[in-house]
């Protein structure tokens, strides 16, 4: 067994904080900046937060579920943590880079691990034009919104919007409309992971739209460009009997 130096971080939840105190009494810990592995205690939301917070470190993150939703987390156990870390399997994610231009011409970049979503801001439906790799694919989509999801995010908001679940390593992204009104029968598309997807807001002053990359929201956008950013990689560790690929397959057979 190769012993790893670990850092323990916890969500702002009583259960997560108690687990952090217990584990810190069992194992020697270091700061996240000096760790070989970061152990995150919480739910999927905290895993997403931790991936963003420690993105620049490039350190693998091993989550244990002390929150409500734990799709990206391993089961919580106090004993055998070092052995579990030594045997864990790694899943590597590449985030989406969102580049927005608002109606005043200001630009902003943000990264999304789960999805980039465009959402209407007011009572009027959004009207969007969609292009893929510079080619216009839809001249007008009338909807509440649309999202572009990674395989890691395909079981989150994308699934709730009736989008497809994507196996890890499939090399595709899910483009999923949210309450599409016209064209009424359009249910979205699967795109190559290398695709550059552009959204143009039609009448942004009359029908304002916000763009969201995980935690970053930009309001009153006029154009949004999204592509996978392979210059940034994120590593999540899973117990080998419950790796992420197996979880995604199982999710597709849930009643």
* pLDDT (tens digit per residue) in 60-96: 999 999 987 777 899 999 999 999 999 999 988 899 9
Which residues have a Cβ under 8 Å from the Cβ of 219 and sit 6 or more positions away? 102, 121, 208, 210
Residue environment code for 203-218, b if the CB has 16+ CB neighbours within 10 A, otherwise e: ebeebbbbbbbbebeb
pLDDT at 6: 96
The pair phi, psi for residue 179, each rounded to 5°, is 50, 60
CB 124 within 8 A of CB 206: yes
User: Which CATH number covers residue 117?
Assistant: 2.60.200.30
pLDDT digits (tens, 9 = 90+) for 144-175: 999 999 988 888 899 999 999 888 778 899 99
220 is annotated as an active-site residue:
no
Residues 43 and 73 in one domain: yes
Are 118 and 112 in contact by the 8 Å Cβ rule? The answer is: no
Is residue 238 located within the same domain as residue 224?
no
In terms of average pLDDT, the best of 2-16, 25-39, 159-173 is 25-39
pTM of the complete model: 0.86
Total domains present in the chain: 2
Q: Are residues 120 and 218 in the same domain?
A: yes
Q: Are residues 115 and 194 in the same domain?
A: yes
For the segment 184-205, what is each residue's pLDDT rounded down to a tens digit? 889 999 999 999 999 999 999 9
Q: Evaluate whether residue 148 is within a structural domain.
A: yes
Rounded CA-CA distance 192/10 in Å is: 35
The residue annotated as part of the active site, out of 44, 104, 109, 239, is 44
The pLDDT of residue 74:
92
Same domain, 69 and 80: yes
The verdict on 70 and 138 lying in the same domain is no
Structural domain containing residue 200: 96-228
In a domain, 153, yes or no: yes
CB 245 within 8 A of CB 167: yes
| pLDDT band at residue 249 using 50, 70 and 90 as cut-offs | confident
67 and 177 assigned to the same domain: no
The CATH number of the domain where 61 resides is what?
3.40.50.10330
If you ran DSSP here, which 8-state letter would residue 249 be given? H
Look at residue 241 and tell me if it is in a domain.
Answer: yes
Q: Are residues 191 and 112 in the same domain?
A: yes
Q: Is residue 1 part of a domain?
A: no
């Amino acid at each position: 067994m190769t012993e790893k130096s670990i850092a323990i971080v916890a969500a702002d939840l009583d259960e997560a904080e108690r687990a952090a105190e217990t584990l810190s009494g069992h194992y020697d810990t270091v700061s996240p900046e000096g760790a070989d592995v970061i152990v995150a205690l919480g739910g999927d939301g905290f895993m997403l937060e931790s991936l963003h917070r420690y993105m620049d470190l490039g350190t693998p993150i091993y989550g244990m579920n002390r929150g409500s939703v734990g799709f990206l987390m391993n089961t919580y156990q106090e004993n055998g943590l070092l052995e579990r870390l030594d045997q864990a399997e790694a899943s590597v994610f590449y985030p989406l880079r969102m580049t927005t231009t608002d109606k005043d011409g200001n630009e902003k970049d943000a990264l999304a691990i789960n999805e980039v979503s465009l959402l209407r801001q007011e009572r009027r439906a959004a009207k969007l034009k969609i292009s893929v790799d510079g080619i216009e694919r839809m001249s007008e989509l009338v909807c509440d919104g649309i999202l572009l999801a990674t395989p890691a995010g395909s079981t989150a908001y994308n699934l709730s919007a009736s989008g497809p679940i994507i196996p890890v390593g499939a090399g595709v992204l899910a483009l999923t409309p949210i309450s599409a009104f016209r064209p009424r029968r359009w249910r979205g598309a699967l795109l190559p992971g290398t695709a550059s997807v552009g959204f143009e807001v039609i009448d942004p002053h009359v029908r304002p739209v916000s763009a969201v990359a995980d935690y970053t929201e930009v309001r009153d956008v006029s154009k949004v460009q999204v592509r996978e950013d392979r210059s940034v990689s994120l590593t999540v560790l899973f117990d080998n009997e419950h790796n992420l690929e197996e979880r995604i397959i199982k999710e597709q057979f849930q009643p």
